Amino acid sequence: MLKSQVREEIFKIMFRYPFVNEGEMAEQVSFSLEDLEGKSEENIQRIKNKVEAILSNVDAIDQKIEACCEGWSFNRIGKAEIAIMRIATYEIMFDDAIPNSVAINEAVELTKLYCDEDAKGFVNAVLGKIEKSVNA
């Protein structure tokens, strides 16, 4: 499983987050990981660890996203775009193993797959602002 495929599986799990209550999210993660039968245990563990890390930092991540979405209410942003930006923002803020440029590029690629055509520019711009604010 390529790193981009791992990230896509993380996105699919994170997309569920706004639609379930907090207590159900662990169950959703388990269901998603069961669907990955036949994948390496290493990749499954990588997905689980990243999702858990994102969820444990989701408040700080959401605050950073909202602060960098000038003129946009967090509630107006599409759920897919938020899930994608949560992953990339986590990587920018907390995961030194992933270069910021890779986190942003992978987010834009996911946006091309799962969002409206115009969303990629928005996601790219917001993540660029997040990167600048973190590195300031």
| Number of C-beta neighbours around residue 42 at 10 A | 10
CATH number at residue 86: 1.10.940.10
pLDDT in tens, 39-76: 899 999 999 999 999 999 999 999 999 999 988 888 89
State yes or no: pLDDT of 132 exceeds 90: yes
Per-residue pLDDT band at 91 (split at 50, 70, 90): very high
Domain count, the chain: 1
pLDDT of 97 > 80? The answer is: yes
What per-residue confidence (pLDDT) applies to 1?
81
Mean pLDDT over 83-111 rounds to: 97
Q: Structural domain of residue 122, as residue ranges?
A: 3-135
Tell me, what's the pLDDT at 8? 95
User: How far is residue 29 from each of residues 25, 38, 47, 52, measured CA to CA in Å?
Assistant: 6, 17, 9, 9
